[in-house]
């Protein structure tokens, strides 16, 4: 039964897969570890007791995972990190350093707050995507401006995006306290978005699925995802060796999709009773996590499986070669910034539609995700799946920081310190290599060095 024209790749054993992951992840993991050790030293020196170090780190872990709703809160904090660091990574891949994600986050938030509250009584399957799109487009346009300026006039994006950050903070402030202000609220904030535009929390899902159009939409989405997973499973793993016939394969995709869709349509309400976020009204976990995972897969697909992604990476790796090969540099730079800004805008959108208590944009909006996400993107070497993992880690650190401070009296800014050190160790790998006596591998350091170029362009 051996087929000579088999296109199936030889399946790799678990051991080699783990080996490969370790090869890639070794440096970031060691960098983080070293950063935590240095952080412990700082705590020890500033408080004079090793017990404080234990209190701090155990508080961090308890706060991030084991306190009530700790784990889901970590997931809530993970979502904006995923989107923002994907945004930074897309920029890096195209040779652009988008420090402006924080500003694009704000513009996206304003756009979403407006789109969510401007109209009412639309069905959720229209209004929610509309509000998400508004945020993405707002952030995308905001980021496309520095992209265009970079491509056309050479204005370096590092400075223009930082300047636009400050402009967008003021702009958001202006909109929230001026044109978009809710006249009936006591606090300075925009009106809350209508219920149809809210991002679904886990708790609200059983109730929302009672609306037929919502249930149908969920069924379709789940069916699509299942079909994509089935396709991937047959193409890239040893499962596919049995089914070489293309028609047979299509049947399998369709069957998997149909089955999953039907389960989602009829089985989801009872299934939701099994996991506590669905039944706890105070749990803030929302479906943004799934959007984030989808975004990571989408960006991976875009960058490594499409012509556009190839061109973006080419412009990032060597703009001169790209120009010589007939790639339109201006178009690609603007597009890369627009995609990057769109992702950042989505992060702001999700915070407004799904996390903020009033489901609106208040005057003082929690932030500080921007610089962290640069660290995440660098730490993960711009790999979308590495980003998901690092975002989870950073989300856990952010979420656990409060209990750490409460537990040990150590300021939660120590987290930023640890993150900066981890970033430093990743940016200057020779330090980590020297500490742990790792030899430089013979493999070429593929795209590691082409993160961003200096003013000269």
Q: Contact positions toward another protein, by CB under 8 A? A: 42, 46, 97, 99, 146, 149, 153-156, 158-160, 162-167, 170-171, 173-174, 177-178, 371, 374-375, 378, 410-421, 423-424, 427-428, 430-431, 449, 451-456
Q: Which of 274, 294, 137, 269 is nearest to 204 (CA)?
A: 269
Dihedral of CA 56/58/64/70: which sign?
negative
Choose between 312 and 410: whose C-beta lies nearer to another protein: 410
CB of 195 to another protein, least distance (A): 31
Dihedral of CA 172/177/178/180: which sign?
positive
CB of 99 to another protein, least distance (A): 7
Choose between 160 and 407: whose C-beta lies nearer to another protein: 160
Choose between 289 and 418: whose C-beta lies nearer to another protein: 418
**How many CB atoms are located within 10 Å of the residue 384 CB?**
23
Q: Using CA atoms, how far apart are residues 242 and 213, in angstroms rounded to an integer? A: 38
CB of 242 to another protein, least distance (A): 48
Choose between 38 and 358: whose C-beta lies nearer to another protein: 38
Taking the mean position of all CA atoms in its chain, how far away is CA 102? 13
Choose between 50 and 428: whose C-beta lies nearer to another protein: 428
Choose between 2 and 153: whose C-beta lies nearer to another protein: 153
CB of 456 to another protein, least distance (A): 5
Q: Using CA atoms, how far apart are residues 254 and 367, in angstroms rounded to an integer? A: 43
CB of 426 to another protein, least distance (A): 9
Q: Using CA atoms, how far apart are residues 43 and 123, in angstroms rounded to an integer? A: 52
Q: Using CA atoms, how far apart are residues 40 and 61, in angstroms rounded to an integer? A: 14
CB of 69 to another protein, least distance (A): 25
Q: Using CA atoms, how far apart are residues 164 and 150, in angstroms rounded to an integer? A: 13
286: β partners: 201
Choose between 84 and 132: whose C-beta lies nearer to another protein: 84
CB of 157 to another protein, least distance (A): 10
Taking the mean position of all CA atoms in its chain, how far away is CA 406? 29
**How many CB atoms are located within 10 Å of the residue 395 CB?**
24
Dihedral of CA 331/333/334/336: which sign?
positive
């Amino acid at each position: 039964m051996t087929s000579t024209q088999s296109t199936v790749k030889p399946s790799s054993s678990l051991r080699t897969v783990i080996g490969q992951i370790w090869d890639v992840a070794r440096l970031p993991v060691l960098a983080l570890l070293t950063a935590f050790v240095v952080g412990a030293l700082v705590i020890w020196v500033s408080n004079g007791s090793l017990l404080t170090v234990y209190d701090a780190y155990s508080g961090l872990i308890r706060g991030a995972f084991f306190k009530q709703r700790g784990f889901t809160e970590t997931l809530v904090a993970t979502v904006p990190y995923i989107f923002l660091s994907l945004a930074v990574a897309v920029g890096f891949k195209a040779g652009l350093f988008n420090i402006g994600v924080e500003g694009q986050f704000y513009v996206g938030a304003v756009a979403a707050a407006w789109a969510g509250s401007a109209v009412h009584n639309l069905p959720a399957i229209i209004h929610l995507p509309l509000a998400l799109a508004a945020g993405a487009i707002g952030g995308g346009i905001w980021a496309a401006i520095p992209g265009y300026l970079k491509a056309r006039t050479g204005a370096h994006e590092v400075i223009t995006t930082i300047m636009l950050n400050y402009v967008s903070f003021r702009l958001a402030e202006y909109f929230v306290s001026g044109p978009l202000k809710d006249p009936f609220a006591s606090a300075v904030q925009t009106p809350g978005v209508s219920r149809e535009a809210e991002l679904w929390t886990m708790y609200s899902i059983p109730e929302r699925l009672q609306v037929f159009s919502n249930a149908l939409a969920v069924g379709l989405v789940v069916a699509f995802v299942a079909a994509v997973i089935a396709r991937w499973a047959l193409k890239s793993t040893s499962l596919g060796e049995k089914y070489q016939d293309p028609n047979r394969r299509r049947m399998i995709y369709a069957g998997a999709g149909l089955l999953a869709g039907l389960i989602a349509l009829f089985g989801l309400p009872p299934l939701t009773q099994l996991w506590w976020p669905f039944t706890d009204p105070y749990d803030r976990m929302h479906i943004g996590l799934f959007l984030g995972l989808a975004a990571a897969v989408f960006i991976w697909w875009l960058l490594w499986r499409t012509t556009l992604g190839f061109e973006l990476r080419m412009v990032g790796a060597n703009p001169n070669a790209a120009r010589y090969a007939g790639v339109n540099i201006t178009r690609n730079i603007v597009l890369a910034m627009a995609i990057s800004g769109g992702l950042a805008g989505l992060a702001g959108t999700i915070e407004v539609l799904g996390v903020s208590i009033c489901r609106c944009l208040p005057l003082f909006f929690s932030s500080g995700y921007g610089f962290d996400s640069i660290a995440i993107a660098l730490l993960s070497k711009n790999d979308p799946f590495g980003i998901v993992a690092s975002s989870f880690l950073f989300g856990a650190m952010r979420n656990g920081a409060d209990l750490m401070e409460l537990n040990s009296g150590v300021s939660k800014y120590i987290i930023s310190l640890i993150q900066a050190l981890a970033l430093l160790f990743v940016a200057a790998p020779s330090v980590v290599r020297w500490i742990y006596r790792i030899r430089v591998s013979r493999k070429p350091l593929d795209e590691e060095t082409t993160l961003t170029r200096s003013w000269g362009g």
